[in-house]
Each structure stands twice: as structure tokens, then as C-alpha cells.
Structure 1
Amino acid sequence: MSGGVVKADEGPLALFGTSADPPTRGHQVLLEGLVQSYPEVATWASDNPLKQHGASLEQRSALLGQLVAAIGNPRLSHRQELSSPWAISTLQRAAAAWPGRELVFVVGSDLAPQIPSWKQVEAVLDRCVLAIAPRAGWPLQPGCLEQLEGLGGRVVILGLQVPASASSALRQNPDPSQIPASLLPLLLEHNLYGLGDPSLTRHSTSHSTSP
């Protein structure tokens, strides 16, 4: 979707950036949960400066956009123009596009320990509410919340439980059952993440159900 200035009286805006490398059923569960919790949710694919990616940013953005389209909720938009390796840059862009809105920056519990090392972390925490989504298998580490609050963070724990499916594991051991069904045709077409074997994909989809 294209950018543009949005009115300031429409409630908090949840922002969820992800490497989407590839998007998993965990991403789908999180996005579907966010639209039940916030009046508007924006998501985008980004490069993580701490990772090597299995597909180009353009390809990952297309996959995430397809997932957003499949979810089909008008409160959820794919806003690739927010993409940046740095949270501070994303928040600056969001503040310009949605002036006056409360910004809620969403991260998984697996990333929470990394936040104190982020670029301009105190400025990041000053510009948003930090919402942590619990991921199965990644409990919050002792003292993590206190450290973030000590840096000025306003932290909330989302009442969601995101499955343990991880993009990194899928890159090493392709498992179509952990991929949203709406993405399988694109992955097959472009032979991404080792999922280009039609027999593998057909076997998985024949046994999968909607999350």
C-alpha cells in the first residue's frame, strides 16, 4: 500500500517489522493477534544487520505482502516504506506518516535481550511503547524488563502466544507445514528456501489445516 498522512485521532498504531525470511505460521498468528488488539497494524520486511538472509529484501517483502493480502483484514497494511535495518529510522518515518499517533513497536520475546544494544536505543524507547510478544521456547530472561524500563522504556507484554516456528530453522530444514499456505505458490515458483520440490509441497498441503 502507498504511504500518506493519516489523521491523529485513530488510536495506537502497532508496528511490526520482520526479516520475513521466510514468513512462517508464527508471523501469521502474530499479525492476526495484533489486529485483534490494535485499531491499526503496519508491517514490513527489513534487513537485520545481525543476520545473513536467504532471499533478497524484494522477495521477502513480496512474501510478506502476500501474507497480509491472505489475512485480508482492513486494519492490517503492508507498509514497506517503513523498512530500515534501524528501529530509530522506522519510527521517524512512522511519526511523519502518522503524526500524533501513539506508536507501538512490536518485537518477539526472542529479540528482547538484543534491544539494549540497538542503535540510539534510548531515543527508540522514547518514541514508542515497546510491545513484547511471547514466543514459545523463548521466555523472557530474568531482569530483561527491568533493564528496558531502566533505559526509559514503556513495556507491555502482549496477551498472545506465538508458535515456536522459526525462519532460521526453516532455512536449514525446509518444512512446508510451518509456512502459511498462501505463500507456498510463490516459494515454489521462485524455488526459495529449498521448497521448490513440488512433491514436498503437495505432501505438506494435503495434511495441513488453517491456523
Structure 2
Amino acid sequence: MTATIALLGTSADPPTLGHQALLEGLLNHFQRVATWASDNPMKRHDACLELRSELLQALVMAIDNPRVSIDQTLSSPYTITTLERAARLWPDDELCFVVGSDLATQIPHWKQSELWLKRCRLGVVPRKGWPLEPEYLDRLRHLGAQITILPLQIPETASSSIRKTSAADQIPKPLWPLLLEHNLYGLQDAPF
């Protein structure tokens, strides 16, 4: 039996209410959602990968749905490697690699994008402030992408806002114990 699995890698630096809404929203469109924390070669990370993975795990546990899981073995700075690992884990399943519209313009510059785009579906979630321009989508299709626009309502949150301004209201409550224990992102007290 073929299942459709959403693959969502994220820097999770830290996970936000947007990440939570995205994971929960993907459950309405896919039979299974696999997520992981990864190092993005185009970003600088404030917390180490191990801590970011712990934060994401806390979020997945709070969502408490057996169809969403964290699979840290998928983590790689390169999507091609992640997809090779996912294909070995789920050889009979259709895979959909999910990104926000903010990343859609970057994909043509990712390592071997013309190869990995042909190995999966590309799920694009619109983000406020990052419109889906037809020329970007056409460029991805030219590289071989089969694109699905996912109609999800994601709150306007960003990990970078938390890192820059300690925007505590954007952090899911289940993450606070870990954030405070490890003194991350300049956060001193939980806002509740």
C-alpha cells in the first residue's frame, strides 16, 4: 500500500507556533508527517543541532499524534541526502518534501536540486511576506518539480524574530522548560 509522507526538515532554532501549526496542518493532507532538525548551510544557528532536535521532539510530543514523528536520521544539510535516506526508510511510499514559500526561491541553488526534485513531490506552504511568484514556480517545474501548493493557515512567526527580539509569545508552551534549562535565546521567564 502506498502512503503519502510529508517530509519537513527545519532549523528549529527554535521551533515556533508556526512550526506547530504547520505540523498539525500537514496531518490534514498526509497520512504521515516526518520531521527533523537540521543544519542549513545557508544559515547560522544559535543552538547546537542536538538541542534543536530536543526542542522539536518536545513539540512533536505535545502534538501527540502517532502520525507525526521526529526522525533525526533524516537530518542532513543537503536535501538530496535526506531524500536518499527517506527512500530507504519508506521504499514503497510517495514522498513530499515540504518547504515554506520563503525557501522556494532558494531551491534552484541547493545542491543537486535538479536531481532530488525528480525524486519526490514538492509541497510549498505560502508564508506571509513571501508570495508565490509564478516565475519561481515555473523555474522549479523546469527543474523537474511536481509542485503541490498546500493551503495551510500558518501564523506569522519566525525563529529569527525570537532570536533577535526574544519574542516569547511565538514559542509553544511545551518548549519552555528546555529553553530555560539551557538558557537559550536570551529568554529569562516563561510569559504564562
Q: TM-score range by the shorter chain?
A: over 0.9
CA distance in 2, matches of 1:10, 1:71: 25
Give 1:138 shift: 1.5
RMSD: 0.9
- Supply the AA of the counterpart residue of 1:63: L
Give 1:103 shift: 0.5
Match of 1:180 among 153, 163, 172: 172
SS at match of 1:36: coil
8 Å Cα contact 2:2-2:92 kept in structure 1: no
CA distance in 2, matches of 1:10, 1:146: 28
CA distance in 2, matches of 1:142, 1:91: 26
Residue aligning to 2:125: 133
Residue aligning to 1:67: 59
- Supply the AA of the counterpart residue of 1:51: K
CA distance in 1, matches of 2:134, 2:95: 26
Q: TM-score, normalised by structure 1?
A: 0.89
CA distance in 1, matches of 2:30, 2:116: 20
Residue aligning to 2:146: 154
Residue aligning to 1:55: 47
Unaligned runs of 5+ in 2: none
SS at match of 2:186: coil
CA distance in 2, matches of 1:34, 1:166: 18
Give 1:136 shift: 1.7
CA distance in 2, matches of 1:164, 1:148: 25
Corresponding residue pairs, total: 192
Residue aligning to 2:182: 190
CA distance in 2, matches of 1:24, 1:99: 31
Give 1:191 shift: 0.6
Pairing 1:89–2:85 present: no
- Supply the AA of the counterpart residue of 1:102: E
Give 1:161 shift: 2.1
Residue aligning to 1:3: none
Which of structure 1's runs of 4+ aligned residues deviate more than 4 A? none
Unaligned runs of 5+ in 1: 1-8, 206-211
Give 1:164 shift: 1.8
Identity of aligned residues (%): 59
Residue aligning to 1:208: none
CA distance in 2, matches of 1:112, 1:26: 17
- Supply the AA of the counterpart residue of 1:45: A
Give 1:10 shift: 4.3
8 Å Cα contact 2:104-2:136 kept in structure 1: yes
8 Å Cα contact 1:113-1:141 kept in structure 2: no
Q: TM-score, normalised by structure 2?
A: 0.98
CA distance in 1, matches of 2:34, 2:162: 25
Question: What pairs up with 1:1-12 in 2 under 5 angstroms?
Answer: 9-12=1-4
1:84-126 deviation digits (Å, cap 9, x = unpaired) = 0000000000000111211000000110000001111111111
